[in-house]
Amino acid sequence: MNELKKTNGTTLVELMVAFAIAGIFMVSATMLISSFTNVYLRIINRNRIQDISNVVMEKVVEELTYASETATEVDPDKIKGSVMLSGEDGSGNYLVAEYSNKDGNPVRMSTQADGEGNQKGLLLEYQPIYENNSPDGAILYEGSQWYMGKGFYKKNQVDLRFRKIENTACIEVILTVSDEKGRYKKTTEKCVECIDLDPNDVQGEGG
């Protein structure tokens, strides 16, 4: 009678152990890749916020540094100096800066949505220019709005505040850029000297 030959094979238990070990490795690899992906996305978001902060701050500094003392004062009762800060937020900061730019055009600087569903960003409103600088005069320039970089913000929000530094022609600019969900935020503060103005030319509303 012939004997059955013994064959070396894989038992069910060994297969189950092998699949379990493979599953552990796959889960670990997935978690590792997910972790690296999250870190990469955080770095990308933070770099984007940094870039937005740099570009917006550069524009704000350029505008305020060369604010002109030959302002076209459309409303003399409101604009008491060449740079007027208004919209006090309760903490000594202001939401709006009104001034004349280096070309002598009256400008209102703030941060808000542009009315077309875009995120909150830097807005420059060029005010009307009247003949003889009087609201009763003929309109020489209708005025316009300039919203910085539609699509530039990538769903990030920009908040801009101003603070007058007493006895100087300097304005402290406080710029905060945050992502849509508020997870990442960067606040930059910079003292901007209005080089063509005297200390009395920079005033806060009610000050």
Model confidence, pTM: 0.73
Domain locations along the chain: 42-204
Q: What angle do CA 175, 179, 182 make, to 5 degrees?
A: 95
pLDDT band at 56 (very low <50, low <70, confident <90, very high): very high
Name the token pair of 176. 């905060």
Long-range Cβ contacts of 117-121 (<8 Å, 24+ apart)? 118/147, 118/150, 118/151, 118/153, 119/153, 119/155, 119/156, 119/157, 119/158, 119/180, 120/157, 120/158, 120/159, 121/56, 121/147, 121/148, 121/149, 121/152, 121/153, 121/158
Q: pLDDT, tens digit, for every residue of 152-182?
A: 777 788 999 999 999 999 999 999 998 877 7
Average pLDDT, integer, range 145-152: 75
pLDDT-derived band at 18, boundaries 50, 70, 90: confident
pLDDT tens per residue, range 60-82: 999 999 887 544 444 444 444 57
Residue 111 has pLDDT above 80, yes or no: yes
pLDDT in tens, 78-100: 444 578 899 998 888 999 999 98
- Top mean-pLDDT range of 36-40, 105-109, 146-150, 190-194: 190-194
Higher pLDDT, 66 or 132: 66
Amino acid code (one letter) for 60: V
